[in-house]
């Protein structure tokens, strides 16, 4: 599975973690069960959000879409070192590229999905939680998304440079913490103007 991050920092709340301790989450969960109060296992990521213009985001995205996200599931990845959450993508308007839709696109096996680092799962009664330190967790709702493929699975995507913006009316709200620096050229623009620029750039 592709890595979405450059640096991984793993910690266990209220616990002392020896340097030789396993990075595997299932093993950490088993170790946590032996501690008083069964503390959660927490993994965190740090990564840079580059200061990209709208033109750069659009250029580097395979798909730009106004869509509703619905959280489907959180799970531990195949390395047993990270937690990811999948969201189902329901399109309202595709501004660049194409997105296969189940039931509408021949051969599309599943609904389009957005895969995000983060979420919480339970292992043997222990909460295992992943947190991004540069972007707040997404929730079900409507977003403007800049996407590229995630791995080789069809209709599975990840964000480009953390570019997910909550949509409420004509207002865009970035989900990264340094949005004023990362997307300075368009975060204060109304969504209608941003959408028009993306459409023009995608031609």
Per the domain annotation, does 92 fall within a domain?
Answer: yes
> Can you read off the two tokens belonging to residue 23?
């990075």
Average pLDDT for 45-49: 78
Do the beta carbons of residue 167 and residue 91 sit within 8 Å?
Answer: no
Higher pLDDT, 35 or 166: 166
Q: Which residue has the tokens 């999905």?
A: 113
- Paired sense of beta strands 126-132 and 141-149, if any: unpaired
pLDDT at 181 over 90: no
> Residues of 135-149 as b/e, b for ≥16 C-beta within 10 angstroms?
beebeeeebbbbbee
Per the domain annotation, does 1 fall within a domain?
Answer: no
Do the beta carbons of residue 44 and residue 135 sit within 8 Å?
Answer: no
Q: From CA 172, how far away is CA 161, in angstroms rounded?
A: 16
Q: Identify the weakest region by mean pLDDT among 4-13, 39-48, 177-186.
A: 4-13
Q: How many residues does the chain have?
A: 203
Please give the pLDDT value at position 52: 92
> Can you read off the two tokens belonging to residue 51?
């200061």
State the total domains in the chain. 1
Q: From CA 45, how far away is CA 3, in angstroms rounded?
A: 11
**Residue 165, Cβ neighbours under 10 Å: how many?**
22
Please give the pLDDT value at position 62: 97
DSSP 13-80: TTS---TTS---HHHHHHHHTTSTT-PPEEEEEE-------HHHHHHH-SEEEEEEEEEEEEEE-TTS
Please give the pLDDT value at position 114: 96
Per the domain annotation, does 33 fall within a domain?
Answer: yes
Do the beta carbons of residue 65 and residue 90 sit within 8 Å?
Answer: no
Q: Can you tell me whether residue 171 is helix, strand or coil?
A: strand
Please give the pLDDT value at position 15: 34
* pLDDT tens digits, one per residue of 118-170: 999 998 889 999 998 889 899 999 999 999 999 888 889 999 999 999 999 99
Q: Name which of 84, 95, 101 is nearest 57 in CA terms.
A: 95
Per the domain annotation, does 2 fall within a domain?
Answer: no
pLDDT at 11 over 60: no
Q: From CA 203, how far away is CA 197, in angstroms rounded?
A: 10
At 43, the pLDDT band (50, 70, 90 cuts) reads confident
pLDDT at 37 over 80: no
Show the domain range for 39.
7-201
Higher pLDDT, 151 or 89: 89
Please give the pLDDT value at position 49: 86
Per the domain annotation, does 20 fall within a domain?
Answer: yes
Strand partners, 128: 41, 121
């Amino acid at each position: 599975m592709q890595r979405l991050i450059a640096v991984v920092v793993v910690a266990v709340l209220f616990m002392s973690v020896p340097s030789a301790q396993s990075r595997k989450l299932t093993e950490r969960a088993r170790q946590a069960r032996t501690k008083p109060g069964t503390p959660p296992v927490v993994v965190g990521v740090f990564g840079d959000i580059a200061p990209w213009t709208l033109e750069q985001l659009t250029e580097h995205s395979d798909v730009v879409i106004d869509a509703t996200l619905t959280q489907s599931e959180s799970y531990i990845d195949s390395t047993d070192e990270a937690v990811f959450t999948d969201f189902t993508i329901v399109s309202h308007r595709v501004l660049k590229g194409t997105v296969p839709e189940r039931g509408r696109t021949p051969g599309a096996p599943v609904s389009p999905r957005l895969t995000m680092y983060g979420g919480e799962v339970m292992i043997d009664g222990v909460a295992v939680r992943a947190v991004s330190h540069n972007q707040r967790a997404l929730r079900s709702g409507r977003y403007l998304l800049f996407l590229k493929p995630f791995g080789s699975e069809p209709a599975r995507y990840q964000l480009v440079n953390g570019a997910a913006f909550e949509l409420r009316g004509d207002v865009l709200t970035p989900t990264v913490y340094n949005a004023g620096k990362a997307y300075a050229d368009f975060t204060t623009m109304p969504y209608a103007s941003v959408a028009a620029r993306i459409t023009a750039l995608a031609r």
